[in-house]
Chains A and B, each alone.
Chain A
């Protein structure tokens, strides 16, 4: 066992947790303790180093909620059911009143406890996802979103997670469980943020989504954290017959950010739409892994991921599509496009297809390049300065995906942030290759 594994187990022991989660925690702790620590030779951790985690000494839980830090983080302007967590602790004052069906684990009644026990840790395969095992070991508080058959949550659920700068690095564990019964509908926005660039806490987040027959969910995961935070997260989804998952994710910031999307097609006619954007710069490292398991016939999946990698940043994308032998008539597509904007930036991409059924149509594509010179030239010929042209084209590259986001409030929140990000001249312009 490595030092970090040991530290994490000690932290688990410090937690005060409900008895009904004990079994899951125990199971998580033993998987976590027994797991081999991933290194360069571990296929799915090949390009990302977990050294920053091992160096994260004196990691501890936060002792109090910090309202000041909360003000430093701008939230999406949205009429929503709002739940605010600071360093993993629930902040009741900043959160809205919760309707039936949305509840914190800590406040769950027996019926809800049973539901949580039924699904929590069952969508994710903690043998294959090391940090899911840790999340199980750390399971304490979290959010349950349960929509009854045929119902629609009238407002989106907006979960804000803020990490704050503390004297010692702070650990936070966030757990979300979404259970949509038949014909139900819901929208969930997860927003992760941090208040200071010099803060090196560790966030371990895990979202499990169960989408029943003909139910649909819109899911957003916005990771706009500052420079030094470490974040490992996962979104694991089970789709039943004719269920639909519409996901969007955007990531920026973090010395180490690893996010796994795993979608299991368990019922015929299920559909996945997943778009993602990653924009690492400075010395950030962002790693997206997606895995779509087509287990049954007649399902469709469509993934589009785009990244702009600048400065000395590094991005990793791994998109796996697995078609099981019985999953005939599957349509699966994946596209990953990357712009490298600096000599010291790095991208590693690996779109994978593993196909065992013949009557399917699968395609993936990946490209890496810099901005198209003719487009730059064209804009300049129209009197646009080079700097502005770069901003426009970079923004346009991402905006294509942003335009497809169904929730207008999320679009409105992200768009100005992206414009200002690409407009920062010191970062993008003057890089070799654009002279």
Chain B
């Protein structure tokens, strides 16, 4: 590759700045005292502390999973700080006017204004900064419709029955290594409850920001859509540029009761590390939803950030006629590694699932699709369609596909298709012949390649995702 192109690859990560905000950060290390501290800090009830400790004890006995197609140095879990909060948040500001202006400036800079009047109409935002939720907008308006949208730490106090009933009901404490760790130390995150028959009047969104050094972020999101309700939820994330790797281990639980619909979209743009593969976020996330009778859960994700991604948003299609969807674009460049995909567990009759996964690898990166489609004996008439395509840009990257397909019911129909190729010379030639330069042409072809997924994203996000892709790919055409 020419030097010119090399320099283009080294383009800046726009969200890579660090805000100097005075924080209260726990010293690195993890033991029961740390968990007690976090729990006390949040003023949690006794049962939740016990719940955390139970998770911690099982985590201690668990082994870090090694089956994913990713390589990274061993993580020292005792070198991570498990709690960090801006000092100014101690006083619990009542309104936006009381929030530290520096904090607001950070979000301003990220293009997430928290002043309601400036917001894109129809999107409510919960902003999570390191371990705490800074502000949640449009709460009153949402409450009018009966929709609860608040930090999970607050929900523990205000809606203990709901939390008690649903927390850990989809992803149990012992589910896997990172979920157990998260259950032990989770600090904040969003809680959403949509009452029966309510169509949430606006898009809900959480914006995650890691700021402090040496901290991990362990947020927990719980969304409960009661019978016949609908909600669309967006998630975005960024972090400063640092040479050290930082850990992000989140858990997302979705519960779609009878006839409910949840649409969950993610644009993940954690710091991916520099062009030499130094630094970046380790993104080890457990996301899972349970769909009851006639319910629908739809995951859409655009993964462009993180040094290492380990993430499998899944659907348990428990109720008859329930539907699961997974649309994903995973883009890796430089030394990024992604092992991502989904699980569709068909339990109920006539359950349907669709998987569309697009992987784009450039530079020296590796991206893998790993998926499981399981048709249980009771999933009469189950149906799955899976399509995963990979695009390779450059000859030093890798693209992999590991689909597990298991069927125990003869009336179910499962289809899986995967292809891998590079950007076709013919397509490139055609575009160039029409006057587009190579870079634009590739960008256009890649956008076309991802179109099926982008069209599932809410409008503003789709635009952002398209741009993100352009930026991340810049310079990888040689």
Contacts and interface: CB of A to CB of B under 8 A. Distances in A.
Interface of A: 43, 47, 325, 328, 338, 340-370, 431-433
Given A358-B393, A359-B395, A351 B403 contact: yes
A358 B422 contact: yes
12 contacts: A328-B395, A347-B407, A351-B401, A355-B400, A355-B420, A361-B420, A366-B414, A366-B415, A367-B413, A369-B412, A369-B413, A369-B414
B400 A348 contact: no
B416 interface: yes
A363 B402 contact: no
A347 B410 CA distance: 10
The 8 closest A-B CB pairs, nearest first, are A358-B392, A340-B410, A368-B414, A353-B401, A369-B413, A366-B416, A363-B419, A362-B420
Nearest to B392: A358
Contacts of B416: 351, 364-367
Interface in B394-433: 394-422
A433 B420 contact: no
Given A354-B398, A370-B410, A362 B403 contact: no
A352 B401 contact: yes
SS class of chain B's interface: helix, strand, loop or mixed? strand
Nearest to A348: B406
Contacts, number: 119
A367 B415 CA distance: 4
A344 B378 CA distance: 11
A367 B414 contact: yes
A350 B396 CA distance: 26
A346 B407 contact: yes
Interface residues on B, range: 35 or more
Contacts of A349: 405-406
Contacts of A354: 69, 398, 400-401
Nearest to B67: A43
Nearest to B373: A368
Contacts of A364: 401, 416-418
Interface centre among B67, B390, B414 (most CB of A within 10 A): B414
B367 to A, nearest CB: 10
Contacts of A360: 392, 420-422
A433 B410 CA distance: 7
A351 B420 contact: no
B377 interface: yes
B418 A343 contact: no
Nearest to A320: B402
A346 B408 contact: yes
Contacts of A348: 404-407
A46 B412 CA distance: 22
Contacts of B412: 340, 368-369
Contacts of B398: 354-356
Given A43-B67, A360-B421, A363-B419, A343 B409 contact: yes
Contacts of B410: 340-343, 345, 370, 431-433
Contacts of A365: 415-418
Nearest to A345: B410
